[in-house]
Amino acid sequence: MARTALKEPQLKSWEAVNQTLADIAEARREIELEQAACNEQVDQLKTESKDKLKPLLELVKANELKLKEFCEARKSEFTQIKTKKLTHGSVGYRLSTTVSIPDPVFTCQVLKELQLEHCIRTKTEPDKEAIKQLTPEQIAEIGASVNTRNTFGYDIETVDPTATAAH
């Protein structure tokens, strides 16, 4: 579909602009009411679902504990094989290794002192706020550009219904 440019503004007066703002405010109120009603239904469904799922989740957790206890009692059977395949699934053990770093700043300092920089991840990215402060020549030299626009905006005057009810 071809984009058509407007020849004249559709609104002809400030009264029309004011009425358009009123129309937007009314539409937003209706949107908020509908969204609130929808959120209430979603919350109710979540509560109902949580109540239905609770016994099933407890059953799964209890059965997982039974599986673990059974396999722990027979851990010697897993020395040659890591996984025991059964008709409805498999059970087994996997060797996992984790690294705990309680103080990353201290660890990075020590890694630098020991010349182990390859163990440090560094994310490098331009600081756009700092770049705004550079001269136009410097900005051009680094291959960046600063774009300034005068963008249109509007505000809707809203009234808090609880504040008006108190008076």
Q: Decide if 43 contacts 50 (C-beta within 8 A).
A: no
Tens of pLDDT, residue by residue over 26-71, are 999 999 999 999 999 999 999 999 999 999 999 999 999 999 999 9
Give residue limits of the domains in the chain.
13-96, 98-144
Tokens 């402060």 label which residue?
133
59-110 pLDDT, tens per residue? 999 999 999 999 999 999 988 899 999 999 999 998 889 999 999 999 999 9
Would you give the end-to-end CA distance of the chain in angstroms? 53
The pTM (predicted TM-score) of the whole model is: 0.51
Q: Report the DSSP pairing between strands 89-92 and 83-86.
A: antiparallel
Are 110 and 103 within 8 A, CB to CB?
A: no
pLDDT confidence of residue 151:
84
* pLDDT digits 0-9 by tens, 110-164: 999 999 999 999 888 999 999 999 999 999 999 999 998 888 888 888 877 666 5
In which residue are the tokens 């770049």 written? Answer: 131
